[in-house]
With several copies, the nearest count.
Chain A
Amino acid sequence: MFKKILIANRGEIALRIMATCREMGIDTVAVYSEADSTAAHVLYADEAVCIGKPEPGDSYLNMDAIIDAAKGANAEAVHPGYGFLAENGEFADRCQEADLVFIGPPGTVIRNLGDKITARRIMERAGVPVMPGTTWTVRTGDNMDEVAAAADAIGYPVLVKASAGGGGKGIRIVHEPAALVDACMAASREAQTAFGDGAVYLEKFFETARHVEVQVLADTHGNVVHVLERECSIQRRHQKIIEESPSPAVTSELRDRMGEAAVAAARASGYVNAGTVEFLLAPDQSFYFLEVNTRLQVEHPVTEMITGLDLVRCQLDIAAGAQLPLTQKDIAGRGHAIECRIYAEDPENGFFPSPGRIEVLHEPSGPGIRNDCGVYAGAMVPVDYDPIISKLVVHAETRELAIRRMAKALREYVILGVKTPIPFLVDVMESPAFGAGDLSTGFIDTHFQDWRPSTGHRDIALIAWVMDAMLQKPAGRQAETESRMPTPWETLGRWQL
């Protein structure tokens, strides 16, 4: 096993990876931008290297700086987390060239699967069902008549998607021919900004489909297993916000079929390490390959909760050359797990990011509750990156009990200083629609289009304001217990000797 690895990421996922490393006796090297010098992942790591200015291109996307940091710290491997360079084939190649193990699939596999068109061809050859759509891409300036004809052939509504996409960026739904050109242009522009590649393509769009994905693990010895499914239908801005496992729509028989398709997809693409095969599940139980996420998913904890596996440990073992310690029959789910993503965002305002300083933080805890958190009280959620605060995950005996556990955990989660979707998520958990498991990617638009926070507890909030004014502000325990004289250092401003 590795003695030291570098984690080329930040926030909760960097901490999540370091937690398992620490258990395994692997030293961790954090990298950070100038905006993150006191970020939680920097404070937790065994070593930390500043790799550049806040702008991601100068830091977390800066391959030279990251590889230099890894070599300088004598790290043996690099874990990319999710986002940033996690699905960048060139980065995987460059790690290998620098004699660093990239904890993920080989660069060629990332490139093949990262290009939606190539991926689609691989899946078609492997007999994995794919979505009706174009097998060619569109860029600004292309002939739009051809695009319009293709959209007509697929049938509206159609989805415009960035070929190099992910994370909900560079995506547009088009309901009628008149909106097609504008949508292609906007998606292309967004893709160009986000991924440096403006190519987009068209796909059939199902109004009420579910997003169901299958976790796979593949070792370097040719063993591939699937680790059950996750339902991630509930999305805002085309980005998942609530995930669960098992999916309320997936029967045991369907689970086997989707699992086999996912394993076939992994085998056909020469996959190694942990990956996720995303499917669209139509109301008639037919399913279609969407894409392979060639990395650890944000939502991997729901799989960990129901299977009892540590997927980061699996990743490290695979990267170190170990055989998978389990076969398909060893893998079974128990109970039900749900994850809510807690972002610094404003649910009353289109979930727009709400960066800032975390003023108060009280994490929920208790039986069956896990919170993978990337901040601390006093920490900044900088404007420069994806504003995820934590992933709140619960596990209970049944879906109904897991929903109640999540609602309770959300109600006990206190974050002040930034806005969060907690009040929205509570309402989703307590809604009959969510309770019925009747999910689709249009869930929020269908059931929570005009969501406003409940007016409950308004009187309590007014009472709290009055009592807060009435009760003395304590100087703090710190000050109370502080009786010694200040040292000379404490009276200095900035100094240098």
Chain B
Amino acid sequence: MEYNLTANGEPFTVTVSPTEGDAASNTAEAEMTIAGNRYAVAATRVEGNHLHLKVNGRGMNVYVGEGEAGRTVMVNGLMIQVADAEDAARSPQGKRRAKRGPQEVTSPTPAVVTSVLVAAGDRVAEGQGVVVVTAMKMETTLTAPYGGVVTAMNTEAGANVNPGDILVEIERDADGNEGDADDDGQ
């Protein structure tokens, strides 16, 4: 069978041939292929979020928790977002990640707006500060993700804002290149 997944936003097809499993001992074995690499996998759920994997004979401990639009897998000091590709496509967070860097003006955490630096009708350059927010005593300037004209300012000083709230709407300049050549997998 095939799973269409994304890892940190990049799509992968995982072909899985389960070979053995035992619900009582919480173990399963499977053969998998990812991007041409073949893996013989044996897994045991040690407890809750902790799985022990044996991948081509090598043991490792992985922890699988709730993530943005999917799961967060922690392995060997790395934190990797893995999601069903369709779920990931639906999530703005997933989309954002897939494009490396924010494409919208939104606060990364619940925050309070300190000041707004532009108004509707203003022309902004890519990287220009548009809104200043503060959270946990730390002031951060949100910048324009691309050059263009501000079509709407959706917030004001003192407002409480949340991740995903589009604070400033900007109409992209005609030469703006949405699908630039970034390698999405980084």
Chain A contact residues, CB within 8 Å of chain B: 38, 42-48, 169, 186, 189-190, 193-194, 237, 346, 349-350, 352-355, 359-360, 362, 376-378, 383-387, 407, 410-417, 419-420, 422-423, 426, 452-468, 470-474, 476-478, 481, 489-490, 492-497
| Contact between chains at A465 and B64 (CB < 8 Å) | yes
Q: How many residues in B have their beta carbons less than 8 Å from beta carbons of A?
A: 74
Interface CB pairs A-B, < 8 A, 28: A42-B59, A43-B46, A193-B139, A353-B138, A359-B49, A360-B49, A414-B63, A416-B74, A417-B65, A417-B66, A422-B77, A423-B79, A461-B62, A461-B75, A462-B7, A462-B12, A463-B39, A463-B53, A464-B51, A466-B14, A466-B16, A468-B64, A474-B26, A474-B47, A489-B18, A494-B22, A496-B19, A496-B20
**5 new A-B pairs (CB below 8 Å) besides A416-B66, A467-B30?**
A383-B136, A453-B79, A466-B14, A474-B48, A476-B48
The proximity string for B residues 18-47 relative to A, scoring 1 for CB distances below 8 Å and 0 otherwise, is: 111111101110101011010101011111
Q: Using Cβ atoms and an 8 Å threshold, which residues of chain A touch B186?
A: 452, 455
A456 to B77, CA, bound (A): 11
A186 to B114, CA, bound (A): 11
For residue A104, give the distance in angstroms from its CB to the closest CB of chain B.
22
> Secondary structure of the A side of the interface?
mixed
| Contact between chains at B73 and A461 (CB < 8 Å) | yes
A467 to B46, CA, bound (A): 12
Given contact pairs A416-B72, A458-B80, A459-B37, A237 touches B138 in the complex (Cβ within 8 A): yes
Q: Using Cβ atoms and an 8 Å threshold, which residues of chain A touch B114?
A: 189
| Contact between chains at A376 and B46 (CB < 8 Å) | yes
For residue B186, give the distance in angstroms from its CB to the closest CB of chain A.
4
Given contact pairs A377-B47, A471-B28, A492 touches B74 in the complex (Cβ within 8 A): no
Q: Using Cβ atoms and an 8 Å threshold, which residues of chain A touch B136?
A: 353, 355, 383-387
Q: Using Cβ atoms and an 8 Å threshold, which residues of chain A touch B128?
A: none
Given contact pairs A359-B66, A459-B37, A474-B45, A494 touches B21 in the complex (Cβ within 8 A): yes
Q: Using Cβ atoms and an 8 Å threshold, which residues of chain B touch A476?
A: 48
B57-96 at interface with A (beta carbon < 8 Å): 57-66, 70-80, 82
The answer to the question of B159 belonging to the interface, with a C-beta cut-off of 8 Å to chain A, is no
Chain B contact residues, CB within 8 Å of chain A: 3, 5, 7-8, 10, 12, 14, 16-24, 26-28, 30, 32, 34-35, 37, 39, 41, 43-55, 57-66, 70-80, 82, 108-110, 114, 134-140, 185-186
For residue A78, give the distance in angstroms from its CB to the closest CB of chain B.
19
A8 to B16, CA, bound (A): 35
A415 to B114, CA, bound (A): 31
Q: Using Cβ atoms and an 8 Å threshold, which residues of chain B touch A496?
A: 19-21
| Contact between chains at B66 and A464 (CB < 8 Å) | no
For residue A235, give the distance in angstroms from its CB to the closest CB of chain B.
14
